[in-house]
Homo-oligomer: A and B are copies of this chain.
Amino acid sequence: MIETPPLREALIQAGIALLAEGGPAALTLRQAALRAGVSHAAPAHHFSGLPGLLTAIAARAFDTFAQTLQTARDGAGDDPRARLHGICQGYLTFAATHAGLFHLMFTAPEVDRRDPALDPAAALSYQILQQACRPFATHPDDRLEVSVWSMVHGYAALGFCTPAPPRPMAKPPKFSDLLDELLRS
């Protein structure tokens, strides 16, 4: 099952660790190479420069993201509403605990988001949310999942789910309340 060169995997893991420890600024090619025990130019044989490494890490992040959504859904019971709430909670928890990966997945400008390597896990994530929204559709060509995804993503990106909400907001409302309000339409 190990088809990918071991160094490539080691560099991805080193990059994830650097990102978690020192934020996006600490994730450099040379540091990743140093942590993997190779010379500074070795990564060039496995990634197309820094953007390549970041994109590979983003792809890996989408994998664990989809898995997080899946387990959050499965752990929320059988009620459709509870399942959708669980998925959104998983989304917010992932964004808060893996802020670096989250930033890489969605907003880091160096990542090539058209890379096919992102496709499988990204599509799976979308399908998980889409499927959970289906019981709430009012008519067949409903696009409720876009509303939910936009809202939960905006809620996470704006920082409502972190300990430091934007300044105009002393106490941000809980996302679950917003979701219930949206589903009541």
Closest 7 CB pairs of A and B: A154-B154, A150-B154, A153-B154, A150-B155, A126-B168, A185-B185, A143-B173
Q: Check if B122 sits within 8 Å of A168, measured CB to CB.
A: yes
Q: List 25 A-B contacts (CB under 8 A).
A: A24-B109, A103-B109, A107-B157, A113-B166, A114-B164, A122-B166, A126-B166, A126-B169, A143-B177, A146-B169, A146-B178, A147-B151, A149-B154, A150-B153, A150-B158, A150-B160, A151-B151, A153-B154, A153-B158, A154-B154, A154-B155, A154-B157, A181-B182, A183-B185, A184-B185
Of chain B, the residue at the smallest CB distance from A118 is B167
- Number of identical monomers bound together in the oligomeric complex: 2
Is A172 engaged at the interface, CB distance under 8 Å to the other chain?
Answer: yes
Residues of A within 8 A of B (CB): 23-25, 103, 106-107, 109-110, 113-114, 119, 122-123, 126-127, 143-144, 146-147, 149-155, 157-158, 160, 164, 166-169, 172-173, 177-178, 181-185
